[in-house]
Structure 1
Amino acid sequence: MVIPPPPSPLPEFVYKITLEAPPSPIPESYPLSELDQKDGFVHLSTSWQIPTTAGLFFQNELSFYLIKLRLANFDQASVKWDEVEDTNGCPHLYGNFGAKDVVDVKEFRREEGETWGEVFEKEEAKAWMV
């Protein structure tokens, strides 16, 4: 498998999707999900990947949280851009993140019958995910 190169330019932010509200305050080392523990990296998405990622893996959920992380906080050698489905190179963080890396957290909700793509077309979502 050929690992795609990172996007150019690199995004300022990457996002972690979580079904549960993050702990408050955010700890120095964020608790890893079962999937992240099993795979050996933290699954992340760019802003333009969120609608696709949400549609593929969270289509049955009516809400989730996005944790906004500043990409420049991570050693770029620890971030691999891996090809997954139709997401065009999702960032995978080999390591962890914590309070110092978190810029913001926001809960997103969708109505029954509404797609995640429709949610992320709204101006409020677009403005937050710059």
Structure 2
Amino acid sequence: MSGTELKPNFIYKLVPSSESAISISEELPIRLPVSSIDQQSGFIHLSTSVQLLNTLKRFFAQDSSVFILRLPFDRLEEEKLIRWEDPKAEVCGPRGGEGMFPHLYNDLKLGKEEVDLVQVLTPVEGSWHKAIENAKEDGWLVY
């Protein structure tokens, strides 16, 4: 993140609902399983609200729903657990115009201490764009 960009209030983790042990009706555990890409990278890949749509299109195009985990940014930043880094083109291809992505460096720990809200997102009429717009209107997907 450069000094000219606004600091986000929240950052987000997308998790395929088909591969998840997450339940929105139960309290999150202390530590959720992390994806193989996170394990290989050694950190948890996150997105800002602005970056979510393209992340959904690139990695979750075939999914019928995903969990969106919302993480309050300030505490993670205060503890120096977030690094803003350029996405590696060999993993996901060029992500031009999206800027740096937040990555969580905390020994791959993601659970109830990091996450303040979990929502299920499903495409609306086959469109992630409409789903994102609805989430913004509902007030839980915010920058």
Instruction: Write the mapping of 1:6-85 to structure 2, written as runs, cut at 5 A.
Output: 8-20=5-17, 21=20, 22=22, 24-75=26-77, 77-84=80-87, 85=95
| TM-score of the aligned structures, taking structure 2 as reference length | 0.76
TM-score (norm 1): 0.82
Residue 11 (structure 1) shift? 0.5
Give the unaligned 5+ runs of structure 1: none
Equivalent position of 1:103 in the other structure: 116
Hey, which bits of structure 1, 4+ residues long, moved more than 4 A?
none
Shift of 1:100: 2.0
Q: Give the counterpart of 1:93 among 73, 85, 104.
A: 104
CA–CA distance in 2 between the matches of 1:59 and 1:7?
A: 32
Distance of 1:27 and 1:6 partners within structure 2:
35
C-alpha deviations, 1:58-97, integer Å up to 9, x for none? 1111210100111112145321112231332111111123
CA contact (8 A) 2:124 2:130 kept: no
How big is the alpha-carbon RMSD for the aligned residues of Structure 1 and Structure 2?
2.0
SS in 2 for 1:99: coil
Post-superposition offset of 1:8: 2.9
Secondary structure class of the residue paired with 2:116: strand
Between 99-108 and 7-16, report the one with greater CA deviation.
7-16
